[in-house]
Copies of this chain bind each other. A is one copy, B any other.
Amino acid sequence: MDLTTAYRRYLAAVVRFHLAAADAGGLGATDYQAASLLDSEGPMTSGELGRMLRLSPSATTRAVDRLIAAGIAERAADPDDRRRILVRHTGLLPDGLLDLLARVQEPIGAAVAGLTDAQREGLEVYLRAATEAYRGALDR
């Protein structure tokens, strides 16, 4: 099996898994993405979140409402500009979601831990290039 085929299967599996994980946690795709962003990028305003997810202001408000109801996020006033509302991840996640994430973290972590320095470097190069490419493609 060549690298391209392996890559296509990998991508399909990643997306499928994460959508299933969202579902297992009782979250829609939008809410799951919002939670992921808040987790990986840190607190941000409602507007920033909406722009990143390409959501209307109202849809953003509703998504944050749902995350708060689920205990995943919380709102805080922005001290610099009281029109803005900071949204931040509480660190909590639904149990079903945590279970599913834990199942993949172990085997993947083990595989990465077994890599030589040069091999891990290759993975890092890919991760950074792909992250930048994905973001860049959406910015245009």
Contacts and interface: CB of A to CB of B under 8 A. Distances in A.
A59 interface: no
Interface in A1-51: 3, 5-20, 23, 29, 32-33, 36-37, 39-41
- At the interface, is chain A mostly helix, strand, loop or mixed? helix
Contact of A15 (B15, B41, B104, B127): B15
A140 interface: yes
Among A16, A100, A103, A132, the most chain B Cβ lie within 10 Å of the Cβ of A16
Give the interface residue-count category, chain A: 35 or more
A58 interface: no
Interface of A: 3, 5-20, 23, 29, 32-33, 36-37, 39-41, 52-54, 100, 103-104, 107-108, 110-112, 114-116, 118-138, 140
